[in-house]
Structure 1
């Protein structure tokens, strides 16, 4: 998706969000407190609520939500396998791969833990008390030990059918590593999954293109029965996510860089500026890979042998910005629907979102599909996504900039630890200045 297409989709979704809210507010004025607006037409009475709210809005909205859920299993499974197949070099599967994957997962765990803590302290969804469509029966929380045991499937096909995403993730990781270690046979199978990944990404693009219609119907239906005061909670949610993203990008990464390498983090942030701006404009880590690679090698001095491995890998598995959104959104939706989460539930969210970040493709809109998975994992209503989807495109740009910043930070740490790093290039503020003159518009993800 080009930057122009991405901006157009953003405008369409924001327009749909505003239009849906305004129409919902108008319908609420016509039908306060859940009442109906009936127009007598002689032979029959026309019910505005039955035709619009319980008819068109509910049907289109639920189809859109079902479409998000439909993509969860194939997207995670295929993306994960494609990501682990990139570890085909056995030497990279060892020390370098371990360092990169470990750092990516650590930063993701830090991101979502901080985001959830911030959300629990600020409580952006407190006081809304919306009713979910589904009746939730109380359930006994499994122990942490049992949760870990349950991650490993005895029947992977049953895990696919039941949507048990932790088991799907574990099986996909093991299957992907087996493919990477299977020589020519593995390469042939990997090619099939790469083609499948292209097809699924196209399906995601199709879904995102019809997202404005789903957003319009979901929000129009919600705001028909939702007080306008609740919109203030959505603004608080937006600010919590945005604040967490800024803190993670401008504080967490520089602190980790200083701790692991001793390098000046101010220089790092200055040299990341152009790549971060491009990532912000495209909302796509994949589209930014060429720019991130040029930044890591020509501006920061990481050897290409390291950066060519860590940057594409990061675009696949490093989704700290998405994890922050998922953490805050989970707490927000739980508060909105007045659902209590146990400590094990919160740990499950951290674990699921951290592992799911490995399978989150670097294209716009996929984070919402992953959020549907996280919500289902802890028994929260997926329709809560309707509350945040309108502002998500605005946050998506920021979290993509955070993600590519993390890719470069990990590349620096791994490169310096392996002796594949040029200190003079890093400290030269004029290094790689020609990158700023690259024509970005021809790049696609």
Structure 2
């Protein structure tokens, strides 16, 4: 019981704050407006911290890479597999949202006025670039800042020994801002509770129906993807034998993921399962640790559902081609960015809200949904790394990879 509380205490406290806020909103009605500044302060702290946090996380990760020779093919296939599975899960969710419109009931009472729509060309230009350096420090230009962070990371990597002092500065900055975010998130139960009280008090209990339907759809799509999606991947990787090898060895990683609510904590169980499945160590030892931070099928599903709900709350349609294309791009970006950051899902929500130009009021609904779906998201994120490693083995070692003996494989040092 103590371990359960330790692993889930963040979620428990957030839910406690949300429930308390909901009750206050129902009881006090519009009088609860007095609590809105508390929620605003919490959101402002998040928006202030997210820019340096993401900058240091991305640039330090790239600057700290150790280039290898033989791993080139594995890394190339790994990127393709990670990207492919994330997009498949996102497209499946978009289809489910169209079939089961979880947000229909909200379109008649949007939270605020519609966000102004820009031409696609201007939107793309503003997403990828800024005209001045200082504009990179605005959350409205998050993607441009991320691209700049990538460039800085590669520049530090290319600088070699001469650039090591700067690289160490990036690594130190990453560590410091991780803890900044952890400190701010300790205010989450109070901040989200106050904001949820404001939403329920002003906009009524119709919000509960939206959250309930979105959660039902998420867990439905997640369960379908877990059973049928992973089964299909395992079959593609190794046929019937791959299917039979994957599921018995996926039990312990699945239990570990749900029990710890952490993809990182599931790495040892995944590595052991990969060995039993027969995945080459040179693939497992690279794919599984990187997958724990870069490969997020569960987060992909939740990103789409959160976007659909937020769009409806602001009276916008989630069905045009430019919106869907940007949603898929943001889903991939969120999967890449959030993994190495504590409470990284919240950073992902900040990213898509900034990309679409929504005001800060859009963040609490997305954060609440993200909190409630976290156990299933962790299950899909963590155990998806094993089946991804099977696919990578299939495409790098050939169709008969499960018949080979890989005892001679050792982890490479580059």
Give the TM interval when normalised to the shorter protein: 0.7 to 0.9
Aligned: 1:235 with 2:212: yes
Kept after mapping to 1: 8 A contact 2:13/2:189:
yes
Q: Post-superposition shift, 1:130?
A: 4.0
- Structure 2 vs 1, CA of residues 266 and 76 (structure 1 numbering), >3 Å: closer, same or farther? farther
The residue number in structure 2 matching 1:193 is 170
- Structure 2 vs 1, CA of residues 126 and 25 (structure 1 numbering), >3 Å: closer, same or farther? same
Kept after mapping to 2: 8 A contact 1:316/1:360:
yes
Aligned: 1:423 with 2:398: no
| Residue 368 of structure 1, aligned match among 346, 349, 352 | 346
The residue number in structure 2 matching 1:122 is 100
TM-score for both structures, normalised by structure 1 = 0.80
User: Unpaired segments of 5 or more residues in structure 1?
Assistant: 29-33, 35-48, 427-445
| Residue 54 of structure 1, aligned match among 29, 33, 40 | 33
Kept after mapping to 2: 8 A contact 1:365/1:393:
no
* Counterpart Cα distance in 2 of 1:275 and 1:425: 24
User: Unpaired segments of 5 or more residues in structure 2?
Assistant: 406-414
- Structure 2 vs 1, CA of residues 253 and 176 (structure 1 numbering), >3 Å: closer, same or farther? farther
Aligned: 1:108 with 2:86: yes
The residue number in structure 2 matching 1:276 is 254
Q: Post-superposition shift, 1:25?
A: 0.9
**CA-atom RMSD in angstroms:** 2.9
Question: CA offsets per residue over residues 1-51 of structure 1, 9 Å max, x none?
Answer: x864332222212222222111211113xxxxx5xxxxxxxxxxxxxx2xx
Question: CA offsets per residue over residues 379-429 of structure 1, 9 Å max, x none?
Answer: 234423323534533311111111112211222222344349973799xxx
Question: CA offsets per residue over residues 284-320 of structure 1, 9 Å max, x none?
Answer: 2222223322222x32222332222211211221122
Question: CA offsets per residue over residues 174-219 of structure 1, 9 Å max, x none?
Answer: 3333444443345554443333222222223223322111121111
Aligned: 1:402 with 2:380: yes
- Structure 2 vs 1, CA of residues 289 and 162 (structure 1 numbering), >3 Å: closer, same or farther? same
What are the residue-to-residue correspondences of 1:202-213 with 2, within 5 Å?
202-213=179-190
The residue number in structure 1 matching 2:287 is 310
* Counterpart Cα distance in 1 of 2:129 and 2:79: 20
* Counterpart Cα distance in 2 of 1:72 and 1:196: 13
The residue number in structure 1 matching 2:223 is 246
Kept after mapping to 1: 8 A contact 2:60/2:167:
yes
* Counterpart Cα distance in 2 of 1:127 and 1:327: 18
Question: CA offsets per residue over residues 162-181 of structure 1, 9 Å max, x none?
Answer: 53222223233333334444
Question: CA offsets per residue over residues 322-373 of structure 1, 9 Å max, x none?
Answer: 1211111111111122123542122112112212321112566321221122
* Counterpart Cα distance in 1 of 2:330 and 2:366: 20
* Counterpart Cα distance in 1 of 2:74 and 2:382: 19
Q: SS of the counterpart of 2:83?
A: helix
* Counterpart Cα distance in 2 of 1:65 and 1:270: 44
